[in-house]
Every structure is written in C-alpha cells, then in structure tokens.
Amino acid sequence: MTTALIFAGGTGQRMNSRTKPKQFIEIHGKPIIIYTLEHFEYHEEVDDIIVVCLETWIDKLKSYLHRFAITKVYEIVPGGDTGHDSIYNGLLALKKKANPNDIILIHDGVRPLITEELISENIRTVKKYGNAITVEPSRESVIRSFDGNFVSSVPTLNQMYVAKAPQSFYFNDILQLYNKAQEDGFKSIDSAHLMSIYGKSMHMVKSTRNNIKITEPADYYLFRALCKVAENQQVFGIY
C-alpha cells in the first residue's frame, strides 16, 4: 500500500490572514489544501490519504472533502504543537492499519503544485533506495552563520539543495525514527532533518518545477499567477 500523509496543521501566522490558516485560503473558490489533495486523489499508485489537520478546522476540512469529491482520505487526525509533533501524530494514527513495508509520502498541504510525475518518482525511488527526499538545486548562494550576524561560511553552490516535499519512506523506518526522537525528546524541522540527525542515508529526487510552499503573502500571489499560467497553457500550448 502507498499512503500520503498530508500535513495541514499550520496556523498561518505569517500570512496576515487573521481568520484562516494558510492551507484553507481559497484561490478561485477552492482552498489550497484541496488543490494539494487532488494530486494524490487522482494518482493511481496512491491508495489512501491521511491528513493531519488543525483541530479546530477538522469539521471544515471534512465538508470540503465532501464538496470537492476527495474520496481517498480515510482519516483526519489533529495536529500537535509543532510540525514534528503533527507528523508523529499522523504516523501513530497510521499504525492501526499500515504494514511495515507500506510506502508513506509525507507532503505539505501548502505545496499545491506537486505533480503526478513527482509522486511517481518518489514511489519509484523508495522502492529502489529505501527513501526519497525531494530537492531542488539552490539557485542562490547559501550562507551559514552561527551567530546570525556574520557570515561563517559560503558552501560551494553546486553542492547545495533546497529540501522540498514529498519526503517518502517505508512506514516502519520512519515510524521507528520518530519513536526514537520521541524517546530522546528531540524535535526536527522536517523528516530529512531527523534522518540526518540519526545519520541515516537519504536519496534525493529532483523536484518538478514550481513546487512552492505557501507560507507568506508573496507565495499566495505566486501560486495564483502560476495557476493562471498553467490554465493559459491549455489554450496556447506554450511554456
């Protein structure tokens, strides 16, 4: 089985949208989370979906799933205090039904421009190498600074990548890792970070284009602009 674990637990504090978490902001009448879910809904290799959702928004999400005919979501679980806790909650909920060798694609609800191709490539890579971390080569120089004031180092640009999503694993591997982190009282930024902390080998998958994460107002405008471009392409067949 292949399951998508979608994280929709963020509160959207950076978005200026006082009433709505960012994953529920609508573009042309459809919430961002639904754009994201549709890609997994329509992918034939994805069997089911579990969503980790802000607790106060679970009912709303249920009504959206109904309205937009998303049928693969079999469970919605409440998020935790951090992204790390939310993913852990999702994995624990999965325990009830998942087999150790099931493939889990962990994805952000606010990355609606994921593609069919990227989902396929993640699944293929997990089967071949045991895991898959979606990345994109960094287009601008990366700087490391230990004190936040002065540049400590500028690593070679062609060795630097930006981690995107999905980040995909065999269920047993990723659950064990989160269990271990739980024991150690450690919280990670994302699963790739957690893997790195525990010295696990990770295989990269090149992201398809425009796999943006909508966290700031500018991202919303970009998403809207890209939607428009994609729609125009249907007509003109360009780009």
Partner 1 sequence: MTFALIFAGGKGYGIGVGSKPKQFLELYGKPIIIYTLEHFENHKDIDEIVVVCLESHISELRKLIDRYGITKVSLIVPGGSTGHDSIYNGLVSMKGKAGDKDIVLIHDGVRPLITKELITTNIEAVKKYGAAITAEPARESVVQSIDRVKIREVPNRNQMYIAKAPQSFYFGLILSAYERANKDKRKTIDSAQLCSLYDIPMYMVRSTKNNIKISVPEDYYMFRALHEAIENQQIFGI
- CA-to-CA separations, 55 to 60, 83, 89, 166, 202, in angstroms, rounded: 10, 14, 12, 23, 32
Q: How many CB atoms lie within 10 A of CB 131?
A: 24
Between residues 98 and 165, which has the closer beta carbon with respect to partner 1?
A: 165
Between residues 64 and 88, which has the closer beta carbon with respect to partner 1?
A: 88
Shortest reach from residue 188's CB to partner 1, in Å = 9
Shortest reach from residue 132's CB to partner 1, in Å = 11
106 DSSP β-pair partners: 5, 167
Between residues 16 and 179, which has the closer beta carbon with respect to partner 1?
A: 16
**Coil, helix or strand at residue 35:** helix
Shortest reach from residue 185's CB to partner 1, in Å = 17
Between residues 28 and 96, which has the closer beta carbon with respect to partner 1?
A: 28
Residue type (1 letter), 128: K
Shortest reach from residue 178's CB to partner 1, in Å = 16
Residues in contact with partner 1 by CB under 8 A are 16, 133, 135, 138-146, 148-155, 157, 159-164, 189-190, 192-193, 195-197, 201-204, 209-210, 213, 215-218, 221-222, 224-226, 228-229, 239
Shortest reach from residue 125's CB to partner 1, in Å = 10
Task: Give the Cα separation of 18 and 158 in Å (integer).
Answer: 40
Shortest reach from residue 99's CB to partner 1, in Å = 26
Between residues 62 and 213, which has the closer beta carbon with respect to partner 1?
A: 213
**Coil, helix or strand at residue 189:** coil
| Strand blocks (E) in 12-69 | 26-27, 30-31, 48-53
Q: What is the largest CA-CA distance in the chain?
A: 55
Q: Contacts for 159-162 with beta carbons within 8 Å, 24 or more apart?
A: 161/135, 161/136, 161/137, 161/204, 162/135, 162/136, 162/137, 162/138
Between residues 62 and 200, which has the closer beta carbon with respect to partner 1?
A: 200
Task: Give the Cα separation of 102 and 99 in Å (integer).
Answer: 5
